[in-house]
Amino acid sequence: MLSDAELTGAPRVVRDWSYTTNRMVGDGWILLGDAACFVDPLFSSGVHLALMSAVMAAAYVHGAKTDPTLRVPAGQVYEQLYRKEYAHFRELASLFYASNRTEESYYWQARRLLGDTNVGARESFIRAVAGQPPRGYERSALSHGELPSEISEMFASVASDKRLRDATVAMGLSLNLVPRLAGEAKLERRPIFAEGEFQWSAVLSSATRPEGTPLSNFVAALVNLVDGKRNIGQILDRFTQGVEDSEQIEQAHESMINAISILYVDGAIDSLMG
Ligand SMILES: Cc1cc2nc3c(=O)[nH]c(=O)nc-3n(C[C@H](O)[C@H](O)[C@H](O)COP(=O)(O)OP(=O)(O)OC[C@H]3O[C@@H](n4cnc5c(N)ncnc54)[C@H](O)[C@@H]3O)c2cc1C
């Protein structure tokens, strides 16, 4: 076929097969699977992304038809969730390539990741790339992998911040602490994808979780009262205004301390000032 062909330019090496589209959803159309994006096939992510987007796209179409108010905002959430999963796989592929300097080290890295010394290096590599869910790989990479130093340092700093927050919570939160939301945290009402469908919910979004964390009505009401000025005791008073039953007040107190602890450890509450 190439016998009469003429080379008209220098050969090029294609190193990254990943691609993504500018828009994934619009008026009357939605993209999924390879039509929307594709990641370097190292972790066999294609079928996972195709099926995940198919489930969400079906839910989106059903939701948009039954509740037209979902049409535009649920489309945005679909795209955010999909891009996040895509980015997760892409970052893991970059991480894998970044932590291997020679051809042999790919195999050794795979063996380290699997943590099974009875399996040969090449077989480990095949197992590692034959359909790893990203979160499983992430855990393995953190516990057994050889990571570039800037990435290990970043993880170490996040882990140390979390340890400090855990320790503060373990000591017990006193009523005079003033909780303050992280600068970019925003409470809003928008669609979430839960139990196989798009539905409206209170959501706390932040820079690290632009798609937002769904909140129950109780926690949403609590977050509404966190203004960086009221302390926990004052928030509790506002919360239980008009409630006479001491048992109910006690329960609200306990649930509120639990919710503040979770929001603090998660970083949505940035600080607790004494
Ligand atoms: C060689 C190879 C190996 C791969 N290995 C893996 C792996 O091990 N694990 C993994 O997870 N992923 C793997 N992938 C990626 C994976 O196959 C894709 O990401 C996945 O199949 C995408 O699914 P899809 O439904 O979006 O597209 P496709 O599976 O491509 O399905 C699209 C379908 O639409 C049909 N079609 C196209 N145009 C029209 C039209 N006009 N009318 C009607 N029908 C039409 C096509 O014939 C096709 O059947 C591999 C891909 C390749 C090419």
Mean pLDDT of 182-211: 87
Q: How confident is the model at residue 70 (pLDDT cuts 50, 70, 90)?
A: very high
Check if the beta carbon of residue 98 is closer than 8 Å to that of residue 48.
no
Torsion (CA) 165, 251, 256, 219 in degrees, nearest 10: 130
pLDDT for the residue 160:
77
pLDDT average, residue stretch 119-144: 56
User: Across residues 150-171, what is the average pLDDT?
Assistant: 75
pLDDT at 34: 96
pLDDT value of position 36: 97
pLDDT digits (tens, 9 = 90+) for 138-149: 555 555 555 666
Q: Where along the chain do its domains lie?
A: 19-151, 167-273
Name the helix (H) or strand (E) containing 144.
helix 134-144
**Coil, strand, or helix at residue 121?**
helix
How many angstroms separate the CA atoms of 173 and 265, rounded? 12
Instruction: Give the position, in ligand 1's atom list, of the atom nearest the Cα of 34.
Output: 26
Q: Using a 6 Å cutoff on CB, does residue 143 contact ligand 1?
A: no
Residue 41 pLDDT grade (very low, low, confident, very high; cuts 50, 70, 90): confident
Q: Taking residues 186-209, report their average pLDDT.
A: 88
Query: What is the predicted pLDDT for the residue at 122?
Result: 58
Report the separation in Å between the CA atom of 190 and the middle of ligand 1, taken as the mean of its atom positions: 33
Q: Tell me which of 17, 34, 51, 52 to substitute to probe ligand 1's pocket, judged by most ligand atoms within 8 Å of the beta carbon.
A: 34
ipTM surpasses 0.85: yes
Helix or strand holding residue 272 (H, E): strand 269-273
Q: Encode burial over 187-215: b for 16+ CB neighbours within 10 A, e otherwise.
A: beebbbbeeebbeebbbbbbeebebbbbb
β-bridge mates for residue 37, sequence order: 20
At the fourth CATH level, the homologous superfamily of domain 19-151 is FAD/NAD(P)-binding domain (3.50.50.60)
